[in-house]
Every structure is written in structure tokens, then in C-alpha cells.
Amino acid sequence: MTLIAPGGHIGILGDGQLGRMMALAAAEMGYFVHIFGQEENSPAAQVSHRSTIADYNDKIALEAFANSVDVVTLEFENIPTDTIMFLNDIVPVRPSRQVLEVTQDRLLEKSFINNLGIGTAPFANVESIGELTHAVQQIGTPAILKTRRLGYDGKGQTKIDHASQIDTAWSEMKNAPSILEGFVNFRLEISVIVARSANGDIQTYVPVENRHKNHILDITLAPANISEPVAKRAEEIAQTIATKIKLIGLLAVEMFVTLEDDVLVNELAPRPHNSGHWTIEACATSQFQQIIRAICGLPLGNPVRHSNATMINLIGTDIDQWSDIIDDSKNSFHLYGKAESRAGRKMGHVTKLLPLDEKPEI
């Protein structure tokens, strides 16, 4: 892998807040960033050297974008794989199309994880009302019906508590290929962010606890309140997946910790993750600096935290509290440059650092 030294140009597919924080980290490290997105005055474009606004299938725009940068990465995984393949003929794209093919499809993703000997919730492929009926009989209720592709933050899913809800649930999916997942009785939800370079070097951040509200991440506590063996198992799972999927970049592995302290994988995200925002203030190397290091062929940075942390998302009208948040000198305040607040829209986040011997909590 060719080293891309500071002064090089990095292309980012996607123009939201993750792209924004990646661009800021890249600039601090001496790189120029070119954003490829679809929104005027986007959060990422506001802080980047260049931006292109075009469809992800616009090959003329994609070719010009690829020829202007030394490497391409992404801030969200729902980029057409044909786009990745087209770009990769011109410039390296990290992570690869093969990584996206797995992580864009819940069936392929869970099958890949199970084939590594790693547990998930029980699941079944569903492509018709008949298959859904059979899956409910097999897995039982309660269960969650999710579209195989394009779902996030609770979108594209519905809960089935009783067999009588099967028709309504399938109608909500609009005949989209889906999976039915059995309900996991978990003690808490955690995530591990792992970085892997082209030469196989791996670094992981400490497992963190994630608490959700209305299917959207609300609070992250770093570190998670779990035993050392459970934390070690979670990190080993993340490292195994990153290695076997041949990741170059960053991967967030969302997991359940059961009442029996088993660790089950829920979802994968091959990019920086909301649950890693605390690393900006609390670690020697943030998740955003780490992905720049990984895709540019630099040595991976130290992910060890110097502080514990509580991270709170500012969603919708939460942003109206900005003056009170700033008044507290212990808060690190991040806004994403979004002009309009809407219900469920991530507008920013707040991180509060704590001593390593103090348990993070709200």
C-alpha cells in the first residue's frame, strides 16, 4: 500500500456530520478533503477544501472527483457498490466494495458473522408473506422484521408481538426483502470501534455502553459497565470481524450483552460511528484521526483513553439548549452546521470527561 503523506487529497463519499468530523481531523493532519455529496451547504462541505454535488451514479462527476484525490473513503455505508467499483478503477477506495456488499445487506452480514463462529440473534430470510409466517412460527415472538437493506435509526423495521400482526408488518415492509430477528433479552447494548490498516495492524477502542431513545442513539458511556472478560470477548469479536472481512479503515461493531454475559453481534458499520464521538476529547487518537491514518497508510494511533466520558446526542430541538450547555465549562460542545432542526435529526453532541476512576453516568 502506497503511503499518502500529509499534503495529499482525500475524497469522502457523503456530506453529513461524520464527513464533517473526518474532514476536520484530516485538515488537522495536513490533508485536503474533497466531499462528494448531494446537499447544498452540507455539514461536511462547510469545512472541506472542495465539494461536488452530484448523484452517486453520475459517472462524469465521479471520474472528475476520483482524479482529484489520492484515496476515497465514505461516511455512510449505503453507497451503491457500482459507484465504489467505478471509482476503484481510478483511485483506491477504502473500505472496499466487498466490505460494503456484506455490511449493506443484513442477511449477508449476519450469515458472515455466524460463519465466523460468532453469535447473533436468531434470524430468517423473508421475501414473502408465506416466508414471514413460517419464520414467526420458527423463531417465535416478540421478533423484529427489518428490511435487508437501507435501514438505520429504526427506519425500515417493525416489531411483531403476536402472529396476528404478520399481515400488517409485511405491508409496512412494502414487499422489500427482509429478515426476521428473534428478540434478545439483553442486559445492555455496547459497541466496539476497531481500526485496521492494510498491513493488518489492528487497534480497538474500549467497549462503550449505548442507550437509545426512539431507536436513535441518545447516550454513550465510556467505558461500558461490563466485566473484563466480557470486554475482552467484545474486542476479540471486533478484531476477528475486521480481519476476516479484510477491512482497511474503521468498523463499528454493535453488540448485545445478555443476562448471562454472552456477547452477540447486532450490526456492523464500516465507518466512524456515533458511539465513537467521545474519542475526540478522551483519547490520544480519535476515531476520526484513526480512519485517516488507516486509509492513508500511516501507522495507527494510540486508542487508549486518558479519561472516561459521557456523550449525549443533541437531537431535534435539544439544540435549543445550546446556551445552557456552553455555560457548563465541563462540556465539550459540537454542532454539525445543520440549518434546520427536525424531530429525530442529529444536530450535534456534547461530551463530558471524567477521571479514569470515576464511573460515567448521567
Q: Let me know: does 286 contact 193? Beta carbons within 8 Å.
A: no
Q: What is the mean pLDDT of residues 228-247?
A: 98
pLDDT of 46 strictly over 90 = yes
- 122-182: what CATH class? alpha beta
Position 80, amino acid = P
Domain-by-domain residue ranges, the chain? 9-93, 122-182, 186-354
Q: What are the φ/ψ torsions at residue 133 (nearest 5 degrees)?
A: -60, -45
pLDDT computed for residue 2 by the predictor = 84
Lowest mean pLDDT across 157-166, 228-237, 271-280, 304-313: 157-166
Query: What average pLDDT does the segment 273-288 reach?
Result: 98
Average pLDDT of the residues in 268-286: 98
pTM above 0.85, yes or no: yes
> Residue 284: its pLDDT value, please?
96
SS3 content of the chain, % helix, strand, coil (to 5): 30, 30, 40
Whether the predicted pLDDT of 362 surpasses 80: no
User: Of the given ranges (45-54, 162-171, 219-228), which has the lowest mean pLDDT?
Assistant: 162-171
Report the chain's C-alpha Rg in angstroms.
Answer: 20
Residue 174 predicted with pLDDT over 90: no
pLDDT tens for each residue of 198-235: 999 999 999 999 999 988 999 999 999 999 999 999 99
Residue 101 cell numbers, joined: 456488499
pLDDT at position 151:
66
Among candidate residues 258, 251, 211, 212, the one with its CA nearest the CA of residue 233: 258
DSSP strand pairing (32-37 vs 9-13): parallel
Do the Cβ atoms of 200 and 247 come closer than 8 Å? no
pLDDT tens by residue, 55-91? 999 999 999 999 999 999 999 998 999 999 999 999 9
Contacts of 175 (CB under 8 A, 6+ apart): none
Strand stretches in the chain, DSSP E: 9-13, 32-37, 50-53, 71-74, 123-126, 143-147, 157-160, 178-182, 186-196, 202-204, 208-213, 216-222, 249-258, 263-269, 308-315, 331-335, 346-354
The CATH number assigned to the domain with range 186-354 reads 3.30.470.20
Residues of the chain above pLDDT 90, percent: 90
Mean pLDDT of the chain: 95
Instruction: Average the pLDDT over 165-193 and give the result.
Output: 93
Q: Does the pLDDT of residue 138 top 70, yes or no?
A: yes
Q: Which residue has the cell 396476528?
A: 164
Q: What is the mean pLDDT of residues 152-164?
A: 81
Q: Residue 59: enclosing H or E segment and its boundaries?
A: helix 59-67
The whole-number pLDDT of residue 157 equals 87
Q: Is the pLDDT of residue 45 over 90?
A: yes
Closest CA to 224 of 213, 210, 238, 212: 210
Residue 355's Cβ-count burial label (10 Å; 0-12, 13-18, 19+) is: exposed
Span 18-35, average pLDDT: 98
Q: What is the pLDDT of residue 215?
A: 87
* pLDDT at residue 361 in the model: 79
CATH 3.40.50.20 fits 9-93, yes or no: yes
